[in-house]
Structure 1
């Protein structure tokens, strides 16, 4: 029998995953979090995730995935590789970590089954997927089916942000009472600067554009 009272959130410490954590806290009696240490350039991500979990009394598991950075060198795991400020005309951005969501969700599922949890929540979005193929809905659905078959267990990989753009993600955070938390306590910036970030990397540009649009819409509605 599926346990619909509990959920495991894949939490990076960024805007999207933290919004998903807030969403889970509104929709489940029991919420657990799992974060991954893959030798990312900015350990502050994990520090942010830990502080957020502490704030909400959520138990957090941090898994060692350092091998991933050796297999898939990129601008998020190598200080000497400069983050692309614009998306390439062909191929994926150099901030794409090959296999990251595949591995993270697989390990999250193994951990969830041990906890007796069926629902796994992740903050991927096809609307704002930035050229990352492992943020697409078709990938999530495919992996969900594979995980169920592989472990003979009824997982449900839930993606509250799949069809939301950044403006709508800010609106969701606000409706959950977490606008300031997302704005001030999360780290989305590829250059490791909390809150508003560096303002130059693709993640910061996307975040700021969505925030400005939402705040303008909110001010007009008052």
Structure 2
């Protein structure tokens, strides 16, 4: 089995809240960190710009991390949109579907992303994949669950005969706890940076500024982010003397 460097990591980085916190988590732990994002015909393509903004802001604000932050790559995965209509990739209503899943679910998306990231990591000797998926407080996507991701990791290890590792630092914590994790990594400065520059809204709206960030305030991603921010803020206030 090919030995990949466990001190070098590749982050699946969308520019959203979860992947931004995961990026900070990785920069705090690994000697070298690269990022990869995916164009898949997403309605909220504004997140692609947020990726670069968050990367730059994080490097500028935290010099100890700047030297660890390596290359970024954007990979074309628009074949996912061609497979069929979803509310994430087409102008259709965001509702709960008859199958019990939100219409924003893109079948196979995270599994495809992990495969593409694994191929890149193999070529660049990056022994750890880091992703922001979470099964505690999420929108109901089955490919965010730990068993699905672990199964895909094992397939990558076998298929490439390489010793990948997968880190999902947010898997078992909710959105409020993820903000507390960000605070533990970089204080209020990091929390404010991610709040301001990351993008989560499925509709790609960046006009309205809320206390939890930018977004429509109505899609599942905005609702989760607002709820998590409210719980985090309430806990922060109660902890102050």
- Does the pair score TM above 0.5? yes
Superposed counterparts of 1:64-103, under 5 Å: 64-79=76-91, 81-84=92-95, 87-88=96-97, 90-103=99-112
Q: Is the 8 A contact 2:7 2:127 kept in 1?
A: no
- Tell me, yes or no, if structure 1 residue 215 matches structure 2 residue 217: no
- Tell me, yes or no, if structure 1 residue 181 matches structure 2 residue 193: yes
Partner-residue secondary structure (3-state), 2:214: coil
Match of 1:130 among 122, 139, 147: 139
Q: Is the 8 A contact 1:196 1:208 kept in 2?
A: no
Q: Is the 8 A contact 1:53 1:60 kept in 2?
A: no
Partner-residue secondary structure (3-state), 2:10: strand
Partner-residue secondary structure (3-state), 1:63: strand
Ranges in structure 2 where 5+ consecutive residues have no aligned partner: 60-65, 207-212
Deviations 1:130-168 (A, max 9, x none): 210000010011111111000000011110000011110
CA distance in 2, matches of 1:113, 1:205: 37
Partner-residue secondary structure (3-state), 1:113: helix
Superposed counterparts of 1:96-175, under 5 Å: 96-175=105-184
- Tell me, yes or no, if structure 1 residue 62 matches structure 2 residue 38: no
Match of 1:204 among 222, 225, 230: 222
CA distance in 2, matches of 1:174, 1:192: 26
CA distance in 1, matches of 2:40, 2:97: 24
CA distance in 2, matches of 1:109, 1:102: 11
Question: Which aligned runs of 4 or more in structure 1 are off by greater than 3 angstroms?
Answer: 87-90
Alignment RMSD, CA only?
1.4
**Structure 1 residues 89 and 179, CA, compared in 2 at 3 Å: closer, same or farther?**
farther
CA distance in 1, matches of 2:148, 2:80: 19
CA distance in 2, matches of 1:208, 1:111: 34
CA distance in 1, matches of 2:152, 2:84: 20
Ranges in structure 1 where 5+ consecutive residues have no aligned partner: none
Give aligned pairs, total.
219
Deviation at 1:53, TM superposition (A): 2.1
